[in-house]
Structure 1
Amino acid sequence: MSERVQEDESQEWIAGKHPVMEALRSGREINKIWVAEQAQKSAQSIMLEAKKAGLIVQIVDKRKLDQMVEGMAHQGVVAQAAAYRYFEVEELLGRAKESGELPFFLLLDEIEDPHNLGSILRTAECTGVHGVIIPKRRSASLTATVTKTSAGAVEYVPVARITNMAQTIDKLKDAGVWVAGADVGAERDLFASGMKFDMPLAIVIGNEAKGIGRLIREKCDFLIKLPMHGQLNSLNASVAAGVLMYEVLRQRLGK
């Protein structure tokens, strides 16, 4: 079964107590919620939130939920929601401008593992990223697995899905955004003296195995790498992205 369990393209499933609660709190359009008989006590807060919103909550046997979201740890709670709406890059720029903060975006160059994407979205929400940009092809999309791994962050971090990453970088540059590529071959490391991120910024994170593509690397204004003091020369993509995001946040909070 695919990770995104759908009856049609206009709806999707959200599995797990935390993802369902965050979907409710964010105002996501939800059609119906199912709660397993055995989970009624632990799902009381979700049931109360659903009641406030006038949503139908159906109590069912756990086996029904197992069939609805096969292979996922649903914790006895499943919701049927309107499909996630991807944003346009212009909308991300507009939201950043409205925030009054220095724009901060992530561009994910063919991140294929949905767990990595979910983890990146979770950290992005915690560090104030104004938007995440992913390609339509050769990339994980916003599946039920991503929603679960993001711990509900997908409800708060706008994601744009684009057809051409190079053209999108040009569009960001035209809007005054500097583009930094995370690359193991970069000359300067993240903590080098004078490495500042007090400008409108977009960080490119590359594919888990290949890193950033050649064309995208050449489009970047500058490249940065994480210092490595062990035997390995790279980190998991979501961990590397997390370190970079928190360094940007650290510098900006310091100002």
Structure 2
Amino acid sequence: MPGRRAAAEALAAGRGVSRLLVQRGAQGLDDLVAAARRAGARVETGDRARLDDAAAGVVHQGVVALAAPPATVSVEAVADRDLVVVLDGITDPHNLGAIARAAEVAGAAAVVLPRRRSAPVTPAAEKAAAGAFSWLAVAPVAGVPRALEALARAGRWSVGLDGAAPTALWDCPPVLGEALALVVGSEGAGLARLVRQRCDVLVAIPTAGHVASLNAAVAAGVALMEIRRVRRALGPSG
């Protein structure tokens, strides 16, 4: 995984970093190198070309960590958690990483990803996530509709982001305070028809400008922070 923040979070989470590649001459890495050595990781130095190759072309800030992949679980294993994020058709790894980062910051326990029609957790996604995949569980599923059914059986609401929905995000605070899955679709097609049908509530993020909509990652971030705000307003445990 490329990037200083991603490497630091992987070490802090005990994700099994086996090796830390550091660009020769890079500054400001003493704490990171010390943390890697404490974790038993092998620290190696190399030129920029070596790190560029290890990072698969992703900007790495002079650091690439080799670590175990994100923890994967079944959707049933996270169905009892208060907040999970379900992604439908997010094929851009940068969007995937940015959504994962927002999800972790907002206190989500997991990201649910379809095995098809989804970006995998690539080095680019890891970099964009800034270490979030070291703390989030990833639940791969065969299909999003069935995943939502499993969450519903566990008593979880499914709240889908849909730009055409008549209900604004700000107008459903009681639902946002409940245990739920936030469902985010692709920028082009949005939520698939069956996914929309499985959602208990569809909400839109109202806009005031000329541009039609936010991108998927920004929309997810706005919704996650609104969920966080509502929960904090409902009590100290939020």
* Structure 2 length-normalised TM: 0.93
Give the conservation status (yes or no) of the 8 Å contact 1:38–1:62: no
Give the conservation status (yes or no) of the 8 Å contact 1:183–1:225: yes
Structure 2, unaligned runs of 5 or more: none
Give the conservation status (yes or no) of the 8 Å contact 2:76–2:151: no
SS in structure 2 of the partner of residue 238 of structure 1 = helix
* Structure 2 counterpart of 1:65: 51
Deviation of 1:58 after TM superposition, in Å, equals 1.3
* Structure 1 counterpart of 2:6: 19
Q: Is 1:44 aligned to residue 33 of structure 2?
A: no
What pairs with 1:1-255 in structure 2 (closer than 5 Å)?
A: 14-39=1-26, 41-94=27-80, 96=81, 103-192=82-171, 196-255=175-234
SS in structure 2 of the partner of residue 244 of structure 1 = helix
Partners of 2:212 and 2:29 in 1: CA distance: 44
Deviation of 1:62 after TM superposition, in Å, equals 2.2
SS in structure 1 of the partner of residue 28 of structure 2 = coil
Partners of 2:172 and 2:98 in 1: CA distance: 29
Give the conservation status (yes or no) of the 8 Å contact 2:111–2:137: yes
Give the counterpart letter for 1:247 in structure 2: E
After superposition, the C-alpha distances for 1:160-217 in whole angstroms (9 at most, x for unaligned) are 1101111111111110001111112211111237664221211111111000011111
Give the counterpart letter for 1:72 in structure 2: V
User: Cα 1:162–1:194, aligned 2, differ >3 Å: closer, same or farther?
Assistant: closer
After superposition, the C-alpha distances for 1:132-155 in whole angstroms (9 at most, x for unaligned) are 111010101111111101111111
After superposition, the C-alpha distances for 1:63-109 in whole angstroms (9 at most, x for unaligned) are 22122224211121112222333221122135x2xxxxxx1111111
Q: Percent identity?
A: 37
Corresponding pairs, count: 234
User: Cα 1:34–1:194, aligned 2, differ >3 Å: closer, same or farther?
Assistant: closer
Q: What is the alpha-carbon root mean square deviation over aligned residues?
A: 1.5
Task: Decide which moves more: 139-148 or 61-70.
Answer: 61-70
User: Cα 1:153–1:203, aligned 2, differ >3 Å: closer, same or farther?
Assistant: same
Give the conservation status (yes or no) of the 8 Å contact 1:108–1:133: yes
* Structure 1 length-normalised TM: 0.87
> After TM superposition, what 4+ stretches of structure 1 lie above 6 angstroms from structure 2?
none
